[in-house]
Every structure is written in C-alpha cells, then in structure tokens.
Amino acid sequence: MKELHRIYFIIIILLVVGIVMLTSATTFLGYQSKYFKNNPYYFLIKQSIWIMISILLAIMISNIDIRRISEKTFLTLMILSIILLIIVLFTKPINGAKRWLRFSGFSIQPSEFAEMSMILYLAKKFSNIKNHTDIIIPILLSLIIIFLIAIEPNISYALTIMILLLVIMIYSDLPTGDTLSILLLSFIMMPFIIIRYPHALMRIKMFFNKVPEQSQISNSILAIANGGLLGRGIGSGQMKLLFIPEIQSDYIFTTIAEETGFVGSMLVIILYSYLFILGKNVSTKAYGYSRFYYILAFSISFIIFLKALFHIAISLQVLPSTGVSLPLISYGGTSMLITLVLLGFLANIEKENERY
C-alpha cells in the first residue's frame, strides 16, 4: 500500500470513529435541549455537513500546485487571521470567552484559521531565509497571533501555537539563539497571562491538588476507569448524560474510553501516532527537492499529533483541564475544516514525492 493510501485510510477511520462517537455522545444532549431543537441528531447533521465541505476543499487543495502560491498570499492570510482575531475580541462572550464569529447559525473560530495561516507562512518563509532579518517579521506576526489568542482568553490554544512556532523554528534549522530567545520570552509571558485570567490559575491549582468530586475532570477519569478493557459498549456510556460539559468537543476521548475501553482508546492513539509517522516520512522524502514541502509536511503532521496528545492527556488528567479538540473526531466545524485542508496539503506533497 502506498504511503498516500495509508494516510487516506487513517483519515477515513478517524472520521468514522468521530461520527460514531459523536452520535453516541450527543443524542441525549440534543434531545433534551431546546437550543438544539430537541433533535437527537443535531450534532451529527451539522458535523456531517462540515465533513463534506471539508473533504471537497481538501481534494481541491491536494490537486493544485502549491509551490506556485506566492509568499505574499500566505502573508495576506496571516494578516487576515490577525484582523479576525482582533474582531472576535469585540464580540459577545460565550462561556466567558470571545472565540467565535457567528454567521447565519454557523460559527467559526479565527484561532483555527490563524493556526493554518501561520503554518503555511512560516513554512514558506523559513524555507528561503537569506539573512538574519528575514525571520523578524514572521516571528513578530506569530507572537501577535499567540497574544491575541491568549487574551480571548484561550490560553491552551495559545500554548499549542507557541509550541508549534518553536518546533517549526527548530525543524527549519534556524539559528539556535533566535529559538532560545522565543523560548525564554514564552516562559516570561506565560505566568503573567495565567495570573491575568483566574479560571486558568484555578485549573492549574486543581491539577496539582485533589480534584473536586463531581467536577468534569473527576467524571472524565471515572468514565475512563469504568471503560475497563473493552468498554461498556457503544451507546452505553453514562457521562454523556450531562455529567461532563462540552463532552462532544473537549472530552470526546472520554466517551471513546468509556464505551470502547482500553483497547479502543489504544487503537485511536496508535492511529494518531501512525499518521504522525507517515507525515514525517512525507517530510523526509521532500527534503531532497523542496525545503518548503519538507517544513510544511512536518508542521502539519506535528500540530495534528500535538493537539491529539493534549486532548488525551487532559482527559487523563496528565495536563490541566483546558479546551483542546481531538482532530477529526471532536465536534467543531472550523476544526474539521482546517484539519482536513491541512491534510489536503499533506496529500499534495506526497503526490509530488511520488513523481520524484
């Protein structure tokens, strides 16, 4: 089986797992809430629409010559994402945060769009560094994006993007001093941001102390423990009965663990790990003819794996509780769209690899 076919296979399996687990996790939530029109399949319908749109866009992306896309185009996307992140700060808060722009019943998260534009621009810019000053603008724009996401507030996502920036800098072989400077700056900034937002500080305190009973994280751990080796069975989970808020997005792995057990959970973890390995292989093969493809393929693979790792770690209380979606599985149109479009870029690169 070709590497490209393996990538397609894993994507399809994860999408199917996502549809099945999302349906299981949200039928009761949709049925009992007027906000969701008392429709048990409300989430399934909306997610399916986003999946179809995302797949079409991913197919288009996988068949264009992305090397012809100019650096100015990617820079424009970066600036547009910054503008959207500024606009979202003037919207009405939802659950205490300003993260969504709403249009005719649909909502988008500018932070997801900013993630994609940052990956594309940094890969393009860092693939052709001519002198030391060439890295100033991309790093400055990236730090602006990280700051705007942090003050939404969405500290977990800001941390994810910061890690992404550092890893891309290291993978791109930029001067060690520049990378260490950004790392030092992030360590200096993060405590001030956390102190500024009490909810983030509270979650960190909860992480290092005993977790209160009946909290979302204690319920998540209980659900995972109750899953045992083979799980309760699909559709038989208990924590989806409103014991865990946002279970369809921030804690979907809890449903997977409770209903499919250790075996199902490990299979999901293996799929994400294998997808990362395949993406790394795509990156390595591109090194000989395109430094842009080399950086881009790795960056795409890394961010998907990093988000999956964070989501699973949070569900297991290995990290403090924050909202990080599980790529291709969690409910969320913007996340699904951006993830599949990025995978469209990855498929495009592997198609090009096969020609060499």
The residue count for the chain: 356
The secondary element (H helix, E strand) that includes residue 102 is strand 101-103
- pTM for the full model? 0.90
Residues of the domain holding 254: 3-355
Nearest-Å Rg of the Cα atoms of the chain is 20
- Counting Cα atoms < 13 Å in the Cβ hemisphere of 195 gives 5
Per-residue pLDDT of the chain (356 residues; tens, 9 = 90+): 588 999 999 999 999 999 999 998 888 777 777 677 777 888 889 999 999 999 999 999 999 988 888 889 999 999 999 999 999 888 877 666 677 787 766 678 889 999 999 999 999 999 888 777 778 888 889 989 998 988 887 877 888 898 899 899 889 887 666 666 666 666 666 665 655 555 555 555 555 555 554 456 677 777 788 888 888 888 777 766 666 777 787 889 988 988 899 999 999 999 999 999 999 999 999 998 899 999 999 999 999 999 999 999 888 877 666 668 899 999 988 999 999 999 999 999 999 998 87
Q: Report d(CA 297, CA 317) in Å as an integer.
A: 30
CB 217 within 8 A of CB 320: no
Q: Report d(CA 27, CA 38) in Å as an integer.
A: 9
Q: How many domains does the chain have?
A: 1
